[in-house]
Amino acid sequence: GDSIPADIDYLDGDTMSVDTAALTGEPFPRKVPNSKGNRRTLAGCMTVSGNTYCLVQRTGIFTEMGSATLLMQQSTKPTQSVFERSIIECCELVMTIALAFLIAVFIFMYCIKHEELLDTLTTILSILIASVPVALPVVMQVTLALGAGEMAKQQAIVTHLTAMQEIASMNVLCSDKTGTLTTAKIQVFFDKIWTAPGYTKEEIMEFCALASNPHATDDPIDIAILQSFKVAFPDDFDARIKKYTVTKFVGFVPETKRTVAYATIQNKTNLKVSKGLIDKILDTGDDGGDMWKCINTEKIRDI
């Protein structure tokens, strides 16, 4: 649970499990050093487990987190939004029309009707004051502030009011990954499960639970599947899973991107159940793990 205060390189000790959500938004902890030999851990991350000796490489604003903070400060300077530009263009149009109208009033009153110059200027000044939207900026700011208050009630953070104006003018909003706009809380919706012909949703849930490690307390996917399995079958989830006997279990690794459970069912039928990246389930290829290719792979991919 310790926060990493600087960019550091792993030297010796346990393999660390590091939560990098603060930097990357990823909900899953990373291993340091990893299988590719990367020994760097960045400031701002949290240590989930492991006791190690490390060498400090960068501190303060020179860390990756410090650089990101500087970029954030530069990007949050007051800017003119699309909404503000539209309002300014509208005001400029109104002022242009008003000036043309004032010229026409001056010519009509002073040159044609020969009114006193003071009376003419008083009339022109009254029209000019009426045509200038003096209260418009105040009304805009108050309206946006009320909107920011409503968003705060829904636990949304408004960094500056210009951001609300930009969001209001959006047609499409693209987000990068889980943890940015989502809660990173995984759940299986039983009624949304797709099944191939010959299989039921109940069987798919059983297979998913079978291919999940009940002892992996730090794996959010396995935890979510097992919890959803218990929710889907509150009365007999224990009996459903106990009818299988797992003889071998291969956990998830980045190279194979799947878990595999070798099991037998009560009628002595042997099963191989796998859970993971769909491409690695349909056709594993030669990736160092158990290899297979599913029947009708191309047809399933088209679906």
Q: Which residues are known to be catalytic?
A: 176
Contact criterion met (CB below 8 Å) for 125 and 99: no
Q: Biggest alpha carbon distance in the chain?
A: 112
30, β-bridge pairs: 18
Mutual orientation of helices 82-106 and 161-168 as an angle, nearest 10°?
A: 90
Comparing C-alpha atoms, which of 29, 36, 35, 37 is closest to residue 4? 29
The rounded distance, in Å, linking the Cα atoms of 27 and 266 is 37
Helix, strand and coil in the chain, % to nearest 5: 45, 15, 40
Cis preceding linkage at 33, omega within 30: yes
DSSP state of 107: I
Q: Give the list of residues 6+ apart from residue 179 with CB closer than 8 angstroms, or none.
A: 21, 25, 26, 27
Contact criterion met (CB below 8 Å) for 260 and 273: yes
Rg (CA), the chain: 32
Contact criterion met (CB below 8 Å) for 13 and 53: yes
270, β-bridge pairs: 264
The rounded distance, in Å, linking the Cα atoms of 261 and 247 is 8
Q: Are strands 46-49 and 52-58 parallel, antiparallel or unpaired?
A: unpaired
Q: How far is CA 255 from the centre of its chain?
A: 25
